[in-house]
Amino acid sequence: MADNLQGFPFWLLTFDKGGRPEDAGAIDRLISELHSQKITDLFIFSHGWNNDREAAMALYDRFFREMRNVLDANPPKDSHTRVGVAGIVWPSILWPDDAESASMNHVMTGGGGGVALGGGAPIPAAHATPKQIRDELRKGYDDADQLKLLGELTTMLETQAKSEAALKEFRTKLGEFLKSDAGAPTDSKLPDSAEGGIAALNDQKWRELLEVLGDQALQGQSSGGGAAGFGDPFKKLWAGAKDALRVTTYWQMKERAGVVGRSGLGERVLARIAAEAGATRVHLLGHSFGARLVSFSLSGLPAGLEGERSPVKSLFLLQGAFSHFAFADKLPHDATRAGALKGMAARVDGPLLTTHSQKDLAVGRSYPAASFVNGDDSAAAADQVSRWGGMGYDGAQAVGAGTELLAPPGKKYPFRKGAWLNLDGNAVIVHGGLPSGAHSDIAHPHTAWAALTAANIV
């Protein structure tokens, strides 16, 4: 029987890293109860980078509380509308440094206790120790060789040997760790795959990357920027190595999100809803890497489920941590390549929308790595953002998207079937600490209203 979340029937669907359900019966129950409870509209939400069911449930509770409040004040246009909600849980790692900003406990009461970025200097989260990193990352890997490599990498971060040879050995082990969790072969020239080539850099480029990442990692510490490593260059280089491990695990989680989306949500859930519960309209919501997960679920739909035949009636990406070119037919800087989800927008029988905010600092973390891998490190910062930027920074690109300010309930958005709309959240999505900034500040009346209007419920 469905649970209750903020007055909505709620189903929880849990997948492993290969997209296999932990409880196949949960999907059966969902399909059956969509019928028995006469659900007309089902919102399916996926979390981003956390490996904790409790944290995922806290996110779903916050967001659907806002949706409940909006619906209480703005009843559905059709009195027969019955809304259900579902949450995805998948094995995604929360990097320890990001724990505070990802939990968003400090903004749950509406932002009064949080830090609004731009108004004053945000307070950095505590910097995780190598042991804390090792303990947290172990939750996301189940292969003995992966765990051995993880132990060796974090031990090297603890030791911080003052030698070039040790830094090169770290690069080698990082490459082995990357390959241990990789899916299909990747093309580093594709925006979402660029970081996968981080360990293939030559000696000079690897050293330069560590310098750049080290400066970035040490910013905000008491002695300030690169000066934090003055007199001991290896301090900055090992800070860069730690961030290289962060970028590596983020890339792996981004890849996992695609696998779980396609094989889990797409093939095992959406395809069955289309075949067995076709009267239910599905609305996909995803935060961070979860935005990539729900987007890749479209690629798991059987061929032919496009336009009115698709069960997916809206797609809403909240601070998406994947390429803003994902749905592009051609990359603006390379017309020979397309986004990873070229043509998949046709599998949404309704509007596609994103939120974006430049106060979301998380989506920019891979710019240096991506640009170094592809030889773009000398390019202007604006060019790096253009090539390697994320949805959560500036919205969907090269898809003819419109732009509107993210507004409170009552706003009439110009939604159109099959068309993208970028919602500028720079005045709303503003709370959070370093290093992720406002990345998780997504539960607002504004976002709930956007979801409900895109679904044509209010």
Contact 432, 117 (CB under 8 A): yes
Q: Note whether 282 and 349 are same-domain residues.
A: yes
Helix (H) or strand (E) holding 180: helix 164-180
Q: Note whether 290 and 388 are same-domain residues.
A: yes
Beta partners for residue 323, in sequence order: 390
Beta partners for residue 10, in sequence order: 3, 85
Asked, for residue 103, whether it belongs to a domain, the answer is: no
Looking at residue 128, its pLDDT comes to 84
Looking at residue 183, its pLDDT comes to 60
Contact 86, 45 (CB under 8 A): yes
Q: 252, 269, 293 — which closes off a domain?
A: 252
Helix runs in 332-389, H state only: 367-373, 381-388
Contact 146, 181 (CB under 8 A): yes
Contact 321, 391 (CB under 8 A): yes
Asked, for residue 105, whether it belongs to a domain, the answer is: no
Looking at residue 109, its pLDDT comes to 33
Q: Note whether 131 and 248 are same-domain residues.
A: yes
Looking at residue 184, its pLDDT comes to 53
| Phi/psi-derived region of residue 311, left when phi > 0, alpha when psi is between -120 and 50, beta in every other case | alpha
How many domains does the structure of the chain reveal?
A: 2
User: How do residues 115-154 score in pLDDT, each as one tens digit?
Assistant: 444 433 333 445 789 999 999 888 888 889 999 999 999 9
Q: Which two tokens stand for residue 349?
A: 């029988």
Asked, for residue 110, whether it belongs to a domain, the answer is: no
Q: Note whether 245 and 311 are same-domain residues.
A: no
Q: Note whether 156 and 234 are same-domain residues.
A: yes
Asked, for residue 120, whether it belongs to a domain, the answer is: no
Q: Which two tokens stand for residue 445?
A: 């009346």
Residue 67 φ/ψ, nearest 5 degrees: -65, -40
Looking at residue 231, its pLDDT comes to 63
Q: Note whether 414 and 424 are same-domain residues.
A: yes
In the chain, count H helices and then E strands: 14, 9
Cα maximum dimension of the chain = 70
Q: Note whether 409 and 273 are same-domain residues.
A: yes
Domain membership of residue 203 as a residue range: 126-252
Asked, for residue 26, whether it belongs to a domain, the answer is: yes
Q: Note whether 299 and 434 are same-domain residues.
A: yes
* Residues in the chain with pLDDT values less than 70: 51, 98-126, 182-186, 220-231, 364-365
Peptide bond into 435 cis (omega under 30): yes
Q: Note whether 261 and 385 are same-domain residues.
A: yes
Distance CA 19, CA 193 (A): 20
Q: Note whether 187 and 270 are same-domain residues.
A: no
Residue 321: exposed, middle, or buried by beta-carbon count in 10 A (0-12, 13-18, 19+)? Answer: buried
Secondary structure of residue 44 in the 3-state scheme: strand
- Enter the pTM of the model: 0.91
Give 134-176 as a DSSP string.
Answer: HHHHGGG---HHHHHHHHHHHHHHHH--SSHHHHHHHHHHHHH
Q: 252, 270, 295 — which closes off a domain?
A: 252
Q: Note whether 240 and 229 are same-domain residues.
A: yes
Distance CA 56, CA 67 (A): 17
State the CB neighbour count (10 A cutoff) for residue 26.
Answer: 16
Asked, for residue 106, whether it belongs to a domain, the answer is: no
Q: Note whether 369 and 434 are same-domain residues.
A: yes
Give 264-293 as a DSSP string.
Answer: IIIIIIIHHHHHH-TTSEEEEEEETHHHHH
Q: 193, 217, 252 — which closes off a domain?
A: 252
Q: What is the DSSP letter of 229?
A: G
Asked, for residue 308, whether it belongs to a domain, the answer is: yes
Going from the C-alpha of 161 to that of each of 12, 134, 443, the distances in angstroms are: 46, 18, 44
Asked, for residue 115, whether it belongs to a domain, the answer is: no
Distance CA 399, CA 415 (A): 15
